Amino acid sequence: MAVTLRTLHKYRADKQKFSVLTAYDACFAQRISEAGIDVMLVGDSLGMVLQGHDSTVPVSVADMAYHTAAVARGNTGSLVMADMPFMAAATLERALDAATTLMQAGANMVKLEGAGWLADTIAVLKRNGVPVCAHLGLTPQSVNAFGGYRVQGRDEDTARQLIDDALALEAAGADVLLLECVPRAVTAKLVASVSVPVIGIGAGPECDGQVLVMHDLLGVSPGKPARFVRNFLAGNDSIEAAFRAYDRAIKDGSFPADEHCF
């Protein structure tokens, strides 16, 4: 049975965890969906893991549409979420054009990075039948503004702002939220404050779902792994087994563990 937005909301209501993993092509998309991963994120992380850039900023809407179409062709039942790349939501017109392109390429939902200022854009996308995941906390497209990849919401004011933004975006029509690199205590408060599913990456086990970049999960990304990463290929005899182990660890609560949290 195919995973839909309604499925994710039922998981939230039933307190059942769900898995999210990035995918970029048809071959891996088939393996990931067959392994039981609930959501495949066609991430603009492809700029780093596929194209060799040092950030996601160079990725275009055309890049995202190409990879979304490939993933959709290989999918066997997961929900497909596609990133809106750098500056794609800078204006309402650009957001509508980008969302149209990605949905027509095969996405079931788009993901936007930002904060409370996205509310008007999300409301218009929602009105036009585009499901939206709002990405809060560390938003990689803003790495230059942040001055690096830094944990967000560490002090009382920024933590409160993060929760206020989440509530504003939920009210605007965001169907799902994603938190990246947020202290676990802040995540717990935010998850308790909203009613939509929350996906985490470096945000603690309190989230309803967890996401990793596929290359991180397989231990093939260059450089030192981020704190929230676990190599699931280690100890497993195949890539498919690693995908299944990841899905199982999220659903049995063993991932993320304390050492993966801030």
Q: Are 113 and 140 in contact (CB under 8 A)?
A: yes
Please give the pLDDT value at position 142. Answer: 77
* pLDDT tens, position by position, 184-225: 999 999 999 999 999 999 999 999 999 999 999 999 998 889
- Tens digit of pLDDT at every position of the chain (262 positions): 899 999 999 999 999 999 999 999 999 999 999 999 999 999 999 999 999 999 999 999 999 999 999 999 999 999 999 999 999 999 999 999 999 999 999 999 999 999 999 999 999 999 999 999 999 998 888 767 666 667 888 999 999 999 999 999 999 999 999 999 999 999 999 999 999 999 999 999 999 999 999 999 999 998 889 999 999 999 999 999 999 999 999 999 999 999 999 9
DSSP 226: P
Q: Are 95 and 85 in contact (CB under 8 A)?
A: no
Indicate which residues carry an active-site annotation. 180
Please give the pLDDT value at position 137. Answer: 95
Please give the pLDDT value at position 106. Answer: 98
Query: Minimal CA–CA distance to 186: which of 217, 212, 216, 207?
Result: 207
* pLDDT tens, position by position, 156-183: 999 999 999 999 999 999 999 999 999 9
Q: Can you tell me the distance from the alpha carbon of 202 to that of 70, in angstroms, rounded to the nearest whole number? A: 28
Contacts 24+ apart (CB under 8 A), 86-89: 86/44, 86/56, 86/57, 86/58, 86/59, 86/141, 88/61, 88/112, 89/113, 89/114, 89/118, 89/121
Q: Can you tell me the distance from the alpha carbon of 104 to that of 219, in angstroms, rounded to the nearest whole number? A: 32
Please give the pLDDT value at position 150. Answer: 79
